[in-house]
């Protein structure tokens, strides 16, 4: 399943990086401590967090995440939006909390 397909099925909104929406999803990781995520997230993961800053975009790039999902309607700052668009890293938004989002994503994983 692609990032775009997941966003449609779960009613998520693209905040940035929509051009990367054809990326295939392979797994899921939940976490807000950036150094922890850098060490543990895997390529192709949907990364669920509340961190909407430029550092989160850097971590998504380093880990080769399929996308970032900002839970609980967390905001994305302008610098992060610009960087995500440049690097084609999809950033999605949901009102659900991290747990509910992870459960919903898990239902669509291979």
**pLDDT higher than 90, residue 8:** yes
Backbone CA torsion sign across 29, 31, 36, 38: positive
For the chain, how are helix, strand and coil distributed in percent, rounded to 5? Answer: 45, 20, 35
Q: Please tell me the distance from the alpha carbon of residue 21 to that of residue 40, in angstroms, as a whole number.
A: 23
Domains by residue range for the chain, with CATH: 3-106 (3.40.1390.20)
Q: What is the pLDDT of residue 110?
A: 82
DSSP-derived secondary structure letter, 23: P
For the whole prediction, is pTM greater than 0.95? yes
Q: What is the pLDDT of residue 5?
A: 98
Q: What is the pLDDT of residue 59?
A: 98
Q: What is the mean pLDDT of the chain?
A: 98
């Amino acid at each position: 399943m692609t990032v775009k397909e997941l966003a449609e099925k779960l009613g998520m909104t693209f905040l940035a990086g929509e051009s990367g929406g054809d990326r295939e999803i392979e797994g899921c990781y939940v976490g807000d401590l950036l150094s922890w995520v850098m060490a543990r997230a895997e390529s192709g993961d949907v990364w669920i967090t509340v961190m909407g800053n430029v550092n989160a975009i850097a971590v998504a790039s380093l880990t080769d995440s399929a996308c970032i999902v900002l839970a609980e309607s967390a905001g994305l700052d302008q610098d992060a939006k610009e960087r995500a668009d440049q690097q084609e890293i999809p950033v999605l938004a949901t009102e659900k909390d991290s747990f509910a989002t992870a459960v919903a994503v898990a239902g669509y994983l291979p």
